[in-house]
Amino acid sequence: MTNVSLSVLEQKQDFIRRHIGPDASEQSAMLETMGVSSLDELITQTVPADIRLPAPLQMGGARTEVETLAYLKSLAQQNQVFRSHIGMGYSNTFTPHVILRNVLENPGWYTAYTPYQPEIAQGRLEMLLNFQQMTLDLTGLDLASASLLDESTAAAEAMALAKRVSKNKKSNTYFVADHVHPQTIDVVKTRAEAFGFDVIVGAWNTAGEHDVFGALLQYPGTTGEVNDLAEVIAAVQAKKGIVAVAADIMSLVLLKAPGQMGADVVLGSAQRFGVPMGYGGPHAAFFATRDAYKRSLPGRIIGVSKDTSGNVALRMAMQTREQHIRREKANSNICTAQVLLANMAAFYAIYHGPQGLKTIANRIHRLTSILALGLQQGGLKLANSSWFDTVLVAVDDKSAVIEAAQARGINLRLDVSGHVGISLDETTTATNVNELFDLLLGESHNASVQVLDQQVIDAAGVIPANLQRDTEFLTHPVFNRYHSETEMLRYIKRLENKDLSLNHSMISLGSCTMKLNATAEMIPVTWPEFGQLHPFCPREQAKGYTAMMTELSDWLINITGYDALLMQPNSGAQGEYAGLLAIRKYHESRGDAHRNICLIPQSAHGTNPASAQMASMKVVVVACDTDGNIDLNDLREKAESMADQLSCLMVTYPSTHGVYEETIREVCDIVHANGGQVYLDGANMNAQVGLTSPGFIGADVSHLNLHKTFCIPHGGGGPGMGPIGVKQHLAPFVAGHAVVDMDGEAKDNGAVSAAPYGSASILPISWAYIAMMGSQGLKHATEVAILNANYLTQRLKEHFPVLYTGRNDRVAHECILDIRPLKEASGITEMDIAKRLIDYGFHSPTMSFPVAGTLMVEPTESEAKVELDRFADTLIAIRQEIAKVEKGEWSLEDNPLVNAPHTQQNVMGEWPHSYSRETAVYPLPSVAQNKFWPTVNRIDDVYGDRNLFCACVPMSEYE
Ligand SMILES: *Cc1c(COP(=O)(O)O)cnc(C)c1O
């Protein structure tokens, strides 16, 4: 018998060595290149001693994949999956299996980043364009974005848009109809309070009576009623107000589009188009408005442009409206925003097509009418006289109904006094409706779905004729040609093939932390026990979720060194906003409401100033010195001179320059000494976990990007989770929720997201990561992230100047390559390098953030030495190509850099260039082994913005 080790320890660490790219011998080899004897020595050289944690993390040991999944399954089984008829913007749905497996469960789709390099993102850009087209068709408006975080935050964005574009400049008041979903009213009120707007909540049909800059209506209303909104919309607009309508996407299949009733903005959740409820998320929100307001639209817009060969090519349009350019003047702070879920919803529309969607919507509506008729014939009164899928039923003994419903495993809506609400969805069957009859009419009733069905068919519909859709939708061929599964499968695959994601090669986007999203971490996400819970179901049905989230919170509290954690914000930027609101409320509670200055270093991420603006703070920029560090003198001078009004400092650590600033404790002290709070942007936590922590350093609040540090995949631009950790003194001021009683948080603090725990269904990913790494594994991951970054720096620094380094000339977990001197000498730009990397099969590092003319490289711990070397060899080869341009061997007008990327089409037929085809597309032997072909040439940004076109391209354009 061979002598195999049965050491449990070894098995337990199995996941750690799979998550971490370089093995022990590779690590030694890398350390040797750097002249360092051990990982410990490197860390001592790199991380300032005064911020090193005195004690190890307390997660315990690593668990195996099998143990982790078994434990998560046991938690999942503590969730009770009731049939939820709660509605309120969340419905059961069937995720078509071809989409479930080939999109949601497919790393080709879920590991990509936001399409910053559009030439290798045409697949998801095409799907997002389909999402926009679907939005346009269903809403009846001119211009749509892709996509927002949830319906309630989309409504808050609509309010902000109204304020920007309304001609009623005098009014500071926004009207919200009381038939809007309660969580949306909550989120809008929170946002209004932060902006200093007044909110009137009143009956929807009184909106026109007020002097307001805008109004929000719901369609159908939260009670289920389908109202003709046209007159009220016109009345508000007559007083120069902007009207937004939050609409149910499935109802729009049958109902007149709100755009046709005159709405200025139409928004809503695309969840019920095939995205599981997931106890609150993630889901995509849609948002459409008039063409005239295009410059005010929040979030991303995908637009059609051309590439250098004149072919149709897609890209993100009008980026100049966004925070990374306009900072505190941006339309919104939205960065990560649910791309994967928007893609799923659009695929759902393609899968069913307009006819299939009509069948689904009609079926839902017919069953609802059967339910309504049966209940009425049985003597019950409905609060609404029209409906799409929801009725409110008056009940005498509500608690008896609730009890009986629970006994049958049914959830009804309970928050309307004297009534229960019932919403149906595409999964509801005739049997379910019969069961609802049994429940509400008693067992001896004689309501029968079959008999009632005939009566419903014979009767006039409850949707008034003028509110029925009489326009076509989804007429574009894309929604009408993939209705066999073979065709659908191939369409999904065809688009996937156009995009470079982590299953092809390393994506070294600095600040984005594109680490491994392990398969074992992803598996629980699509378990029904996590997927099918309604966010407003009774808490006792979500015991498994509560247990999982409590454990995850405790771990994150330990990792961050804070005292409490809020699991609500569904992106990093949303976390910033939530954290700044907590700071604001804290100051207010101490009679310091006037503290409204937010100091932000020059180098900060654009979301920081954009979030500060949303919290009505005044942004004051703090300078950085020539080494890229916060200029302490400037900070001290500003903090002291503004001490009376100082609210906080927002600082990223390690800095966005990729350096552990030695003075971080002093920075915190200066701010505190002047009465301010410290917001530490946690996007760079991958360089902190286990070595230091924001709480230990002295900060008061941080968001974590669970989709960076804690392995939630980026989904091509979302989902994400941005929980915030806070010190004790801020804990009473974090967000609450109007519908769900959350432990510990004050209900009336106001919500920042639609769902109490944000995108709860992706939290098992972070839970599993931490469980499988354990305390030591997590710390080791941080150390190797630092090792990998310093190794790359070591290999690249003779070829490209590294802009900033910290102590002992080390970088943290990322490094900035300065392309400006090269550009000066050769005319080749950082953009040319980014595009040339595509020819070599790589995604570019982060371009021109935080410094214009640079590339910021973050390898993460998950990349093995072989991949790091391949990447370094590639950049060095590109440097040699640049040298040829410098020496005049290639002209600046015709060389493989400025012509990059090259497509298959380019290398066929005539070859007009001064370099060879091989140089163009197989520049290194390793490239030929695993060639990634971009499907378009370099895309013309200017053309796209000048000729803004944001809907599906007519088929003729492709011919
Ligand atoms: C990614 C990032 C953010 C924003 O996070 P999102 O989840 O995309 O909203 C903020 N700050 C920094 C430094 C980041 O890298």
The residues spanned by each domain of the chain are 104-349, 354-467, 542-770
Ligand 1: residue of 705, 706, 710 to mutate (most ligand atoms within 8 A of CB) is 705
720 lines ligand 1 (CB under 6 A): yes
684 CA to centre of ligand 1 in angstroms? 9
658 lines ligand 1 (CB under 6 A): no
Q: Are 718 and 696 in contact (CB under 8 A)?
A: no
| Rounded alpha-carbon distances, angstroms, from residue 852 to 220, 325, 514, 941 | 48, 11, 22, 17
332 lines ligand 1 (CB under 6 A): no
Cα within 13 Å of Cα(271), Cβ side: 31
- How is the chain split among helix, strand and coil, in percent rounded to 5? 45, 15, 40
Q: Which atom of ligand 1 is nearest to the CA of 511?
A: 15
pLDDT of residue 742: 82
705 lines ligand 1 (CB under 6 A): yes
Ligand 1: residue of 338, 570, 681, 702 to mutate (most ligand atoms within 8 A of CB) is 681
Residue nearest atom 15 of ligand 1, based on CA coordinates: 511
Q: Which atom of ligand 1 is nearest to the CA of 708?
A: 1
678 CA to centre of ligand 1 in angstroms? 17
pLDDT in tens, 740-790: 988 765 678 999 999 999 999 999 999 999 999 999 999 999 999 999 999
Ligand 1: residue of 116, 327, 509, 511 to mutate (most ligand atoms within 8 A of CB) is 511
**Cα separation, 548 vs 554, whole angstroms:** 10
Q: Which atom of ligand 1 is nearest to the CA of 720?
A: 7
607 CA to centre of ligand 1 in angstroms? 7
**Cα separation, 941 vs 115, whole angstroms:** 14
393 CA to centre of ligand 1 in angstroms? 45
572 lines ligand 1 (CB under 6 A): yes
752 CA to centre of ligand 1 in angstroms? 17
Find the angle CA(454)-CA(455)-CA(456) to the nearest 5 degrees. Answer: 90
The amino acid at 716: G
pLDDT of residue 8: 59
Q: Where are the beta strands (DSSP E) in 710-798?
A: 724-726
857 CA to centre of ligand 1 in angstroms? 16
Task: Give me the CATH code for the 542-770 domain, please.
Answer: 3.40.640.10
681 lines ligand 1 (CB under 6 A): yes
511 lines ligand 1 (CB under 6 A): yes
758 lines ligand 1 (CB under 6 A): no
Alpha carbon 764 to its chain centroid, in Å, reads: 16
515 CA to centre of ligand 1 in angstroms? 15
Residue nearest atom 5 of ligand 1, based on CA coordinates: 572
Q: Which atom of ligand 1 is nearest to the CA of 722?
A: 7
Nearest to 337 by CA among 292, 281, 294: 281
715 CA to centre of ligand 1 in angstroms? 15
759 CA to centre of ligand 1 in angstroms? 17
pLDDT of residue 323: 85
847 lines ligand 1 (CB under 6 A): no
Residue nearest atom 8 of ligand 1, based on CA coordinates: 336
607 lines ligand 1 (CB under 6 A): yes
Same fold, 104-349 and 354-467: no
Q: Which atom of ligand 1 is nearest to the CA of 576?
A: 10
Nearest to 792 by CA among 811, 818, 819: 811
322 CA to centre of ligand 1 in angstroms? 13
354-467, CATH topology level: Aspartate Aminotransferase, domain 1 (3.90.1150)
Tell me the two tokens of residue 597. 């200055």
- The phi and psi torsions of 482 (rounded to 5 degrees) equal -115, 50
| Rounded alpha-carbon distances, angstroms, from residue 595 to 190, 580, 644 | 19, 12, 7
Ligand 1: residue of 113, 508, 607, 753 to mutate (most ligand atoms within 8 A of CB) is 607
**Cα separation, 603 vs 610, whole angstroms:** 14
Which helix or strand (DSSP H or E) is residue 315 part of? strand 312-317
Residue nearest atom 6 of ligand 1, based on CA coordinates: 572
722 lines ligand 1 (CB under 6 A): yes
Which residues lie closer than 8 Å to 568 by C-beta, 6 or more apart?
578, 723, 734, 735, 737, 751, 752, 753, 755, 756, 757, 758
Q: Which atom of ligand 1 is nearest to the CA of 707?
A: 7
575 lines ligand 1 (CB under 6 A): no
Run means of pLDDT, 10 residues per run, the chain, 959 residues: 59 90 98 97 97 97 96 98 98 98 98 97 98 98 97 98 98 98 98 97 98 98 97 98 98 98 98 98 98 95 96 93 86 95 98 98 97 97 96 96 96 96 98 97 90 90 94 97 98 98 98 98 97 97 98 98 98 98 98 98 94 97 93 98 98 95 97 98 98 98 98 97 98 95 77 98 98 98 98 98 94 97 97 98 96 97 98 98 97 98 96 97 94 97 92 83
- The phi and psi torsions of 473 (rounded to 5 degrees) equal -150, 160
Q: Give the residue ranges of DSSP H helices in 166-298.
A: 182-195, 230-238
Task: Give me the CATH code for the 104-349 domain, please.
Answer: 3.40.640.10
335 lines ligand 1 (CB under 6 A): yes
pLDDT in tens, 825-835: 999 999 999 99
End-to-end CA distance of the chain: give it in Å, rounded: 66
Tell me the two tokens of residue 883. 């040298």
| Rounded alpha-carbon distances, angstroms, from residue 102 to 97, 316, 364, 529, 558 | 8, 24, 27, 21, 37
282 lines ligand 1 (CB under 6 A): no
Which helix or strand (DSSP H or E) is residue 303 part of? strand 301-306
Q: Which atom of ligand 1 is nearest to the CA of 574?
A: 9
579 CA to centre of ligand 1 in angstroms? 14
**Cα separation, 247 vs 219, whole angstroms:** 5
Q: Which atom of ligand 1 is nearest to the CA of 513?
A: 15
605 lines ligand 1 (CB under 6 A): yes
**Cα separation, 749 vs 167, whole angstroms:** 31
683 CA to centre of ligand 1 in angstroms? 6
Nearest to 203 by CA among 167, 227, 169: 227
Alpha carbon 541 to its chain centroid, in Å, reads: 27
510 lines ligand 1 (CB under 6 A): no
85 lines ligand 1 (CB under 6 A): no
Ligand 1: residue of 514, 605, 856 to mutate (most ligand atoms within 8 A of CB) is 605
Helix or strand or coil: residue 626? coil
367 lines ligand 1 (CB under 6 A): no
pLDDT of residue 444: 87
pLDDT of residue 646: 98
335 CA to centre of ligand 1 in angstroms? 7
Which residues lie closer than 8 Å to 613 by C-beta, 6 or more apart?
328, 329, 330, 333, 619
Beta-carbon neighbour count of residue 693 at 10 Å? 25
Q: Are 621 and 652 in contact (CB under 8 A)?
A: no
271 CA to centre of ligand 1 in angstroms? 24
336 lines ligand 1 (CB under 6 A): yes
Q: Which residue has the tokens 């409320």?
A: 585
Which residues lie closer than 8 Å to 691 by C-beta, 6 or more apart?
43, 47, 52, 53, 779, 782, 783
573 lines ligand 1 (CB under 6 A): yes
Residue nearest atom 7 of ligand 1, based on CA coordinates: 572
Q: Are 653 and 702 in contact (CB under 8 A)?
A: no
Residue nearest atom 14 of ligand 1, based on CA coordinates: 683
